[in-house]
Structure 1
Amino acid sequence: MHEAAVTSKGQVTIPAAIRRALGLREHDRLTFTPMPDGTVVLRAKTRSLRELRGLLPAPPGEPRPVEQLGLGQG
């Protein structure tokens, strides 16, 4: 188990072992999600949208412009 203290400015230093386990680097962002049972889920936002490109296979067929997709028309 790892612990950290909150400073008078509300800052916390994340223990090095936790930073390594989450793959955190300088300037990475974290999200905190309070759960109904009182626990808090911490997630590291270490990927940008650009890194996700190509993660899913391309859909079948030819690419079409957004205007031809019929989105937002009613």
Structure 2
Amino acid sequence: MYQVTVTSQGQVTLPVDMRRRMGIKAKDRINIIPESADWKKMSITKSTGWEELRGILKPYAVGKPRLTKSRLEKLREEFYTERYRRYLKQNE
């Protein structure tokens, strides 16, 4: 178990050992996934990037409107919201 402190700006520093074991480097993104409805238990995974969004980008295939950064962020938010809803439903 690792214990971290949250700064006044809401930031945490992951311990060096944890970053090494997970292969996390500066500028990498991580996913914090709730494992309980009250968020008292959660898991941290290194973001794998585009693979997580597979299928969600299908409407933007060839011949479709260009995918903007803001639209991608909205799709990513929808993806994680739906993933969390499914998780809660499975663990009721």
> Shorter-normalised TM-score: what interval?
0.5 to 0.7
More strand by share: 1
CA-to-partner distance for each residue in 1:5-33, whole Å, 9 max, x for gaps?
A: 00000010110000001001111100111
Instruction: Name the count of aligned residue pairs.
Output: 50
TM-score (norm 1): 0.56
Give structure 1 stretches of 5+ with no counterpart. 51-65, 67-74
Q: Percent identity?
A: 32
Greater RCO (Cα-Cα under 8 Å, separation 6 or more): 2
1:1-74 aligned within 5 A? 1-36=1-36, 38-45=40-47, 47-49=48-50
Larger of the two Rg values belongs to structure = 1
Task: Report the RMSD for the aligned CA atoms in angstroms.
Answer: 2.3
TM-score where L is the length of structure 2: 0.46
Per-residue CA shift, 1:13-72, capped at 9, x if unaligned? Answer: 110000001001111100111112631011111x4559xxxxxxxxxxxxxxx9xxxxxx
